[in-house]
Structure formats: C-alpha cells, structure tokens
Structure 1
Amino acid sequence: MAGISAAAVKSLREKTGLPMMECKKALSEAGGDEDGAIRWLRENGAAIASKRSDRVTEFGRFGVYADVEKGVGAMVELKCESASVVQLDDFIALSDDMAKVLAEGPGAATAEELLAQPSTIKPGQTLGEVRDDLFNRVREVFNIGRMIRIDGSAGGYSHNSSTVAGVLIEVEGGDNETAKDVSMHIAAMRPSALTVEELDPKVVENERSILTEAARNEGKPEKIIEKMVEGRLRNFYAESVLLEQPFVKDDKQTVGAYAKSKGMTVKRFVHWSLGEEPSAEG
C-alpha cells in the first residue's frame, strides 16, 4: 500500500463515505487510480452483497413521485434489513429517486431494468450504482419490492410513521395539493374500493345478509326490512368506499364531494402497506 498519499485516501473517502483503510486498500488495488478504486469498491461490495442476498428485508419505505400538471406518477417499494436504515437520508433519497426515474423515464418492467437507469441525484451514476455505494457504507441488503407507474395525472403520499404505507392515485383535473390530501386520506382510512360499483359483490351481499338477519332479530316487519337494510348499507359504503367516506380534514363532506369542489375526479388508487399482500386498488 506504499505510495498511496493521504490526500488521495481522503478524496476517495469524501466521495464514497467509506472508512479510510478500505479506501486505501481500494486505491492500492487500483494502482492509485481513483476511478479504478471506485470500481473495485463496487465490485467488492457486489460480491459481499451476493453472499448476503438471502437475508430477510422486512423493513423499508415507499418512494413516491407524482405530479398532476406533468401527468406522471410512480411508486417504488425499497426494502432493507433494519429499521434504523429506513431513517437514513441517503436511503430516503434513493427510494424517492427510484420513483422519480420510474415516473419520468422510459419505464421499467423489472427491478433490474429500473436499476440500470440513470440516477437524478447522482449525475453519472445509475440507480444500481447508487444502491451499491449505499450498501458499501451500511452493509445491508436492499431489495426493490413492488413498483407501479401511472401514465397520466397523478398524486401520491408516503406514510412512514406508525405504519409504512404508500398511496398513488390517478386523477383528472385538480392540483397537487388536492391530490396529496386525497392520498393522505387513503393512507389513514384504508378504503376497499373507489366506488360502490367497484366493491366486491360477494362482500356486499354478505353485508346485506348480516343486516337483514339483524333487522329480523329486532322484530322488524318484513315489508320494511329491505328499506332498512339499504339505509344501513349506506353506512357500510361510507366506511369502505373512498368517494363515500367522510373526508378526514372535513367530515361534513365526502371525499368525492371534496375532490369535486376542487375540480378533481379520482379515477383510481393504489394503496400498499409494507409487508401486506395483496394491495388495495380501486
């Protein structure tokens, strides 16, 4: 390792965030060439990551990028091994960058296709290289889970507090603030469907049967039971259907009414929670 200057080691450390001794070893392996040392570090890290690929990644967050005016939207689930890593600024930035690239780029059908595309936060690097550099610093496996892109006006929200959830909605009209409000409502209230018509008919019939039996047990006459049940079903819809739910920021109006007042039509939504399958989609 003789001949490697302290200044060269310091420069490589500033670029990679890795320990001094590891940077010195990389420079030695690369004959003092900084670019070669960076390649060596990535290749060495990739080899280590490959050996750890079977590790469980049960923590993570959802990167969300959406813009009503630009007409783009995407959500990417980035998973890691421990809860502490989820809070790292670099991990948050990477997940958001993945979502932005997926939304604004050519699209990707697989994680590998997405990782091969250029990062927007690290010029000259691919998303895969940014991920590998982060692995070298924290030595945790990162996996891309679910990902989705909307080719149209979209809004979104990533919730990373008591639960980890991501929401992406496709809309027509409105603005980013309104779309985010609706997305936050979805994360909080977890609707099952966008409209009454999109509810699973079996679920509705089961609820109708339960309400009918309850009315009979109350001794209600058969001739009014049907009307009673339909009335009580409206309460069920208000709990399960996005556009029928009372809006969390103003429960005197429904989400549908709020969106309409802002000139927005919600066309569909995707709500994912970390570790939950399948997702809710309306």
Structure 2
Amino acid sequence: MADITAAKVKSFRERTGLPLMECKSALTEAGGDEEKAYDILRKRGEKLGDKRSDRETAFGRFGLYCGLDKAVGAIVELKCESAPVTQNEEFIRLADDLAKGLADTDQEITSADELLALPSPSKPEMTLGEQKAELFNRIREKFDVGRMSKLSGSCGGYCHNSGTVAGVLIQVAGGSDETAKDVAMHIAAMRPEALSTEELDKATIEKEREILRAAALQEGKPEGIVDKMVEGRLRQFFAERVLLEQPFVKDDKQSVGQFAKGNGMEIKKFVSYVLGQS
C-alpha cells in the first residue's frame, strides 16, 4: 500500500478544494496516484450531482461579455442554490466564461447543453461543461445554466448588484462604453417593455386606447376632443413602458432617446433579464 502522507493529502486538497478526509480516501483508493484519485473524486461528484438534480436554484448571477470594440456581445444566466456561492471567484469566472464562450462561437446555440459543449475560454483544455462539473465537485452545489442571448455588433451592458439581481445587454451604434452602460443601468432600474413605440405590442396599445377613450367619455368630454386627449394620455403610457420615451434616470429632463442622440449613440436592441424570472 502506498504511503499517503499528510503533506500529500494537504497538497491534493489544495488542488481539489474538497475535505481532507475525502481527499485521503480517494488517494488511498487510487494507491497514491493523484490522477486516478482525481478521477475517482470526479466520478463521485457526478453521482452526487445526479442525487441533487431536483434541488432549487433560486440564486445566481449573470455572465456578461460586451464592449463597443467587440464584434458581438452575450449574456448568460448561471443559477445556484445559495447566495454565498454567487460571490465565489470560480463561480464568477464560470458565468463570464459562459458568456464569452457564447460570444466567441460561430455555432447557433439554443440550449444549455450546446453551450456547455463549447471549449472553456479560461481553461482551454476543458469544455464549459467539464469546468462546471469541476466546480460542482469543489462546491458540491447544483448549478443550472438559464437564459442566454447573443447580439451582433457593438454592445454595452450592466449587471445590477454585481450581477446577482439583473443583467442587461444593449446593441448600439456610436456612443461610448460609458454611455452604453448608463442606458443599460437605466434599463435595469426601469425595466421597459420595448425599445420603441413601434415595437410595443399593438394589442396592448389598442386596449389602453380603448380604456383611455372610455374614461374620457365618462368624464363628459366632447367627442370632438376625446381622440386628441387619448393620444396625449397615450404619450404618458409610452413614457412608462418604452425605453426611448422613458425619462432618463440620471436626468429626467430628457428622455433616454434624447440622451442617446445627444451622445451620438443609436440604441438598436436590448436584452434585459431579472434573475429567476422568465
């Protein structure tokens, strides 16, 4: 039997991040061979992962890859079981690697399994799935890859509360990283439903128009001016729901559209996620 010294167990623990006794058990089973012991721990982790597959992942963070100097931007939701794990450096790296992996690939990725099959940007000898499995084996907590989006062209972004509450990715033309981030912060705070009035659901607009018209008639307003009143009140409706019409949170004397135009930036598209919400 190989001599499993305390120093060897300690060194192996530093590599795996697992409890000393579990490391010693794997080394003993492997006859002191670290690589075999590592494989033993990996297989044990896979079995444990299967047992924990039904656990709830109510916490997490967003990985974000963006920049006006980049040809593409991406955002990925990575969920976990507990709040402390969201601050773990390796968990943060995995979330960011997922976003960068999504941005870097030419493949059309439509599922978590397809994303996890891609190479890891920070650990090229591994796939993202292997990186995720290795991290699970260290932390022993279930991770789920949730929603993901990729936008072509220059993108800005913002993750609220270090990415643990909300994440925003916006596609822009012109402007700067800072102005793009300012708009992304606004989106995270105000959660618009659409970029422009043209993109707002037409049925929603017509329903609101009918409600406003009925209210104006009930107030006894002459039919001749009701339509003008309704259109005026619809502007407030748009200002609450449409990004370009919303008062800018950093300066409510101008709309987001006016802020963007004043900074030479056109907002083309945005993706806004709140953790755990569909």
- Normalised TM-score (structure 2): 0.92
Deviations 1:84-114 (A, max 9, x none): 3223333222212211221123443322232
State whether residues 158 and 165 of structure 1, in contact with CA within 8 Å, keep that contact through their aligned partners in structure 2: yes
In structure 1, stretches of 5+ residues that fail to align are: 278-282
Moved more, 213-222 or 99-108: 99-108
Residue 233 of structure 1: how far off its partner (Å): 0.8
Is 1:58 matched up with 2:36? Answer: no
Contact 2:170 2:269 in 1 (8 A): yes
Counterpart AA for 1:259: A
Change (3 A) 1:123 1:21: farther
Residue pair 2:18, 2:138 contacting (<8 A) in 1 also: yes
> Between the two proteins, what is the percent identity of the paired residues?
63
Runs of 4+ in 1 over 6 A off after TM superposition: none
1: CA distance, partners of 2:119 / 2:198: 42
Could you tell which deviates more after superposition, 44-53 or 5-14? 5-14
Matched, 1:226 2:212: no
- Aligned residue type for 1:34: E
Task: Give 1:152 deviation, angstroms.
Answer: 1.8
When residues 191 and 83 of structure 1 are mapped into structure 2, their CA distance, relative to the original with a 3 A threshold, is same
**What are the within-5 Å matches in structure 2 for residues 1-282 of structure 1?**
2-107=2-107, 108-122=109-123, 124-160=125-161, 164-277=165-278
- Give me the whole-angstrom Cα distance separating, in 2, the residues matched to 1:250 and 1:102: 35
The 10-residue stretch of structure 1 (163-172 or 264-273) with the greater mean CA deviation from structure 2:
163-172
Aligned length: 277
Structure 2: which 5+ residue stretches go unaligned? none
Is 184-193 or 174-183 further displaced after alignment?
Answer: 174-183
| 1:166-210 per-position Cα deviation (integer Å, ceiling 9, x unaligned) | 211111222221111111111100101110111111111111111
The separation in 2 between residues aligned to 1:268 and 1:100, in whole angstroms, is 19
TM-score, normalising length from structure 1?
0.91
User: Residue 92 of structure 1 aligns to which amino acid in structure 2?
Assistant: I
For residue 67 of structure 1, give the secondary structure of its aligned residue in structure 2: coil
> Are the equivalent residues in 2 in contact too, given 1:69–1:175 (CA < 8 A)?
no
For 1:152 and 1:162, locate their aligned partners in 2 and report how far apart those are by CA, in whole Å: 22
Opposite residue 66 of structure 1, the aligned amino acid is C
Distance 2:49 2:198 in 1: 47
Contact residue 63 and residue 77 of structure 2 kept, 8 A: yes
After superposition, the Cα gap between the structure-2 partners of 1:109 and 1:218, relative to the gap in structure 1 and judged at 3 Å, is closer
Aligned residue number for residue 280 of structure 1 = none
